[in-house]
Chains A and B, each alone.
Chain A
Amino acid sequence: MKRADNLNLLIFALFFTGILIFSSGCTSDSDTPEEKTVLKILPAGSLMLPFEYLEEDYESKNPGIDVQYEGHGSIQCIRQVTDLNRNFDLVVVADSSLIPDMMMRNNPETGENYSDDYTEFATNEIVIAYTDESLYSDEINQENWYEILKRPDVTVGFSNPMLDAAGYRTFMLFQLSGQYYGDDNLIYEIAGDHMKGGITIEKTGKTERIMLPELVQPSDEKLKIRDGSIFLLYLLEGGGVDYAIEYKSVAEGHDLNYIRLPEEINLGNSSMNSIYDNVSVNLGFERFSSIGSERIGRSTIYGWTVPNNADNPDEAEKFAEYMETEFRENRYGWPPAL
C-alpha cells in the first residue's frame, strides 16, 4: 500500500510537471516576452559612432522599443527606401539636399511621395586627419597643410567619390583650396596626377567643374582610395597612409590628430555656400539611375526624414526628437548640432 501511494505520488508529480512544461515550453509563439516595437533606422556612415550610443540609451529609456539601425553611405541609405522598396522608419543622411532630390518624388507603389518633409539638425566640416607617426606630423599646420600633402613622399587617403559624400567633398576641398591659396595646380599635385585616367577641370563662368574618370583608382603609391572612411582609419592607425581627408567628428571619434581648415574651404559653414558652390564634381558615371552624376559644393548638413511608408512613423518622430536633443549636447566625436 505504501508502495502504491508512492507510485501515485510520483505519477501526480509527473502529471503536474507535464502540465507546466506544456504550458511554458510548448507555446513559443504566444508565450514569448511582450513583443517590442522594432524601429528600423538608416543612418549615414559618419553617424555610426553616435548611433552606438543612441541605440543603447534609447532602448534603456524605452523598454518597449527595439532600435535596429543599418549604416550605409547617404545615397545608399535613401535607395534602400526608394529603389529597393524596403520599409524603414527613419532615414538620417549626411547631405540633407539628397532628401528633396531623391525622396520628394512619387512612389509608384503608393501613389504618394517617398517623403514630403525633412529636418536639418547637425553639421560637420572636412579636416586633415593624421597620427604622430605621419610624415612631417611635427611640421604640418593650418597654413602649410597643402604644401605638406603635395610632397612626393607623403601619402594621402580619401574615400571613393563614387561611394561616399566625403569622397566627392574631398575633390571640392582641393579645388576650393586652389582658389583660396591661389594655386591652380593644387588639386592635380595632390590627387589628379596620381589617378588612373586623371581629372580635368571645366570652367564655366565662375564655376569650376571637376570631371572624374569612370574608375577612381590611384596610378601610384601616393594615393590610397578606399570604399569608406572606416578603411582609411585602419590605414592611418596602421601607418599605411600619412594623411586622410575625413569629417571632423570622425577624426575626433577615433582620437586622431587633425588640422582644421579655413571656413572658406572646409564645407562646414552654410554662410559660405556662395563660395562653396563655385565648385562641382562630375562623377565618371551614374552609379545610381535615381540620382544624377553632378554634385555641387555646399556646406555639410545632416538631415532626417520619416518615409511615408514607415511602419512606425509616430515612434520614429519621437526617436528623431530624442536624437536631436542628444546632438544638442555637442559631444566630442559627434557632428555638432545646427
Chain B
Amino acid sequence: MAGMFNLRNILKGVLPLLLVALFLVFSAGCTGSAESDQNIAGSQAAVEEPSGEITLVYNNGTERTLNYEDLSRLPQKTGWGYAVSTVGIKYGPYKCTGPLLSDIAGIAGGMEDGDMMWVSADDGYMWVFDYEQVNGGGYITLDENLQETKSPELEVILMHTIDGHPLEYNDGAPYRVAIISDRKDIITEGSCWVKWTSKIEIRGEADEKGR
C-alpha cells in the first residue's frame, strides 16, 4: 500500500502534463486513414474537367479528331447506368454524363437504318452497334437479381463524367460507352460498355458488304 501511495504522489504531479501530451499525440497521429482519404478526395477535386480525344471516321472515310470541348458542345445527357459482366458481376449503378452516340454520329452526317457504328478502344477492344442500338433499342435489360425485365427508355452515351467527376483510368477514361435510363435498378449487359474509347467509325450497309 505504501508503494502505491508513493506512486500516487509521483503521478499526482506529472499526470496532468502526461495526459495533455497523450491527448495531443492521440489527436494528431491517429488520423492516418482519414487524412489519406482527404488527400484522395483532394486529388479528385483537383481534376475538374475531362480531357482526351477520339477519332471520328465518317461513312466516306473522312477522319476528324474530337476533343472534350467538341463533345461538350453537343447536348449532354445524364442518367443511371448499371452494367453486368459475362459472369454476372455487377458494376454500378453510376450517374453517367456524356453526349449521345447518335449525336456524335450526327457530326459525321448521321446514321441510317442498316448503318453500323464500330467503336474501338486503346486496349484493342472493339464492339459494333447497329442503328437501333445507337438509338437505345435492342438491348437486354435485367433487374438486380439478373432476371430479364421490360426495358425502359434507354439512351446510349459516350460517358465522360461518372458520379460527378471525370472518369478515372479504371472507369475507362477518358471516354466510355454507357447505356443509361432514368432508373437506378436497370442493368444492361456490359459487353457494349466500351472502356477507353478512342475511335468511332460509321460504316454504311453498302460499305460493309464491300469490305
- The one of B26, B127, B146, B148 in contact with A18, judged by C-beta atoms closer than 8 angstroms, is B26
User: Per-position contact with A for B193-211: 1 when CB-CB < 8 Å, else 0?
Assistant: 0000000000000001000
Residues in A20-69 with C-beta less than 8 Å from chain B: 21-22, 25-26, 28-29, 45, 48
What band does the interface of chain A fall in when counting residues whose beta carbon is under 8 Å from B? Answer: 35 or more
What band does the interface of chain B fall in when counting residues whose beta carbon is under 8 Å from A? Answer: 35 or more
Instruction: Tell me if B87 is interfacial: C-beta within 8 Å of chain A.
Output: yes
Instruction: Tell me if A285 is interfacial: C-beta within 8 Å of chain B.
Output: yes
Instruction: Tell me if B42 is interfacial: C-beta within 8 Å of chain A.
Output: no
Contacts of B190 in A (CB 8 A): 227
Residues in B1-16 with C-beta less than 8 Å from chain A: 5, 7-9, 11-12, 15-16
A45 and B11 in contact (CB under 8 A), knowing A26-B30, A29-B32, A226-B189? Answer: no
Contacts of B33 in A (CB 8 A): 28
Contacts of B128 in A (CB 8 A): 214-215, 284-285
Closest A residue by C-beta to B130: A215
A45 and B86 in contact (CB under 8 A), knowing A11-B19, A15-B18, A25-B30? Answer: yes
Contacts of B87 in A (CB 8 A): 45, 48, 71-73, 228, 230
User: Per-position contact with A for B22-43: 1 when CB-CB < 8 Å, else 0?
Assistant: 1101100110110000000000
Closest B residue by C-beta to A218: B138
Instruction: Tell me if A160 is interfacial: C-beta within 8 Å of chain B.
Output: yes
Instruction: Tell me if B125 is interfacial: C-beta within 8 Å of chain A.
Output: yes
Task: Determine if A14 and B191 form an interchain contact, defined as CB atoms under 8 angstroms apart.
Answer: no
Contacts of B29 in A (CB 8 A): 26
- The one of B5, B15, B22, B86 in contact with A76, judged by C-beta atoms closer than 8 angstroms, is B86
A215 CA to B127 CA in the complex, in Å?
9
Contacts of B148 in A (CB 8 A): 231, 234-235, 238, 240
Instruction: Tell me if B47 is interfacial: C-beta within 8 Å of chain A.
Output: no
Contacts of A138 in B (CB 8 A): none
Contacts of A14 in B (CB 8 A): 19
- The one of B11, B19, B89, B138 in contact with A217, judged by C-beta atoms closer than 8 angstroms, is B138
A286 CA to B8 CA in the complex, in Å?
81
Instruction: Tell me if A331 is interfacial: C-beta within 8 Å of chain B.
Output: no
Instruction: Tell me if B118 is interfacial: C-beta within 8 Å of chain A.
Output: yes
Instruction: Tell me if B124 is interfacial: C-beta within 8 Å of chain A.
Output: yes
Instruction: Tell me if A287 is interfacial: C-beta within 8 Å of chain B.
Output: yes
- The one of A160, A214, A290 in contact with B208, judged by C-beta atoms closer than 8 angstroms, is A214
Instruction: Tell me if A109 is interfacial: C-beta within 8 Å of chain B.
Output: no
User: Per-position contact with A for B81-122: 1 when CB-CB < 8 Å, else 0?
Assistant: 000111111000000000000000000000000001010000
Contacts of B85 in A (CB 8 A): 71-72, 228
A231 CA to B7 CA in the complex, in Å?
72
Instruction: Tell me if B147 is interfacial: C-beta within 8 Å of chain A.
Output: yes
Task: Determine if A8 and B123 form an interchain contact, defined as CB atoms under 8 angstroms apart.
Answer: no
Task: Determine if A8 and B11 form an interchain contact, defined as CB atoms under 8 angstroms apart.
Answer: yes
A5 and B26 in contact (CB under 8 A), knowing A28-B33, A284-B128? Answer: no
A25 CA to B25 CA in the complex, in Å?
13
Residues in A184-198 with C-beta less than 8 Å from chain B: 196
Task: Determine if B26 and A21 form an interchain contact, defined as CB atoms under 8 angstroms apart.
Answer: yes
Closest A residue by C-beta to B29: A26
Task: Determine if A18 and B22 form an interchain contact, defined as CB atoms under 8 angstroms apart.
Answer: yes
Instruction: Tell me if A12 is interfacial: C-beta within 8 Å of chain B.
Output: yes
A160 CA to B86 CA in the complex, in Å?
10
User: Per-position contact with B for A144-183: 1 when CB-CB < 8 Å, else 0?
Assistant: 0000000000000001101110000000000000000000
Closest A residue by C-beta to B188: A227
Instruction: Tell me if A338 is interfacial: C-beta within 8 Å of chain B.
Output: no
Instruction: Tell me if A83 is interfacial: C-beta within 8 Å of chain B.
Output: yes
A8 and B12 in contact (CB under 8 A), knowing A26-B26, A238-B147? Answer: yes
- The one of B18, B123, B191 in contact with A83, judged by C-beta atoms closer than 8 angstroms, is B123
Task: Determine if A228 and B11 form an interchain contact, defined as CB atoms under 8 angstroms apart.
Answer: no
Task: Determine if A11 and B11 form an interchain contact, defined as CB atoms under 8 angstroms apart.
Answer: yes
Task: Determine if B88 and A22 form an interchain contact, defined as CB atoms under 8 angstroms apart.
Answer: no
Task: Determine if A73 and B86 form an interchain contact, defined as CB atoms under 8 angstroms apart.
Answer: yes
- The one of B30, B123, B191 in contact with A84, judged by C-beta atoms closer than 8 angstroms, is B123
A14 CA to B140 CA in the complex, in Å?
62
A22 and B25 in contact (CB under 8 A), knowing A15-B11, A230-B146, A290-B124? Answer: yes
Instruction: Tell me if B66 is interfacial: C-beta within 8 Å of chain A.
Output: no
Task: Give 6 A-B pairs besides A11-B12, A15-B11, A83-B125 with Cβ atoms closer than 8 angstroms.
Answer: A8-B11, A14-B19, A45-B86, A214-B118, A215-B128, A285-B118
The 8 closest A-B pairs by CB, nearest first: A228-B86, A289-B124, A71-B87, A45-B87, A227-B189, A26-B30, A8-B8, A214-B128
The contact sample of 7 A-B pairs, CB cut-off 8 A, is A18-B23, A18-B26, A84-B123, A215-B129, A230-B146, A231-B140, A234-B148
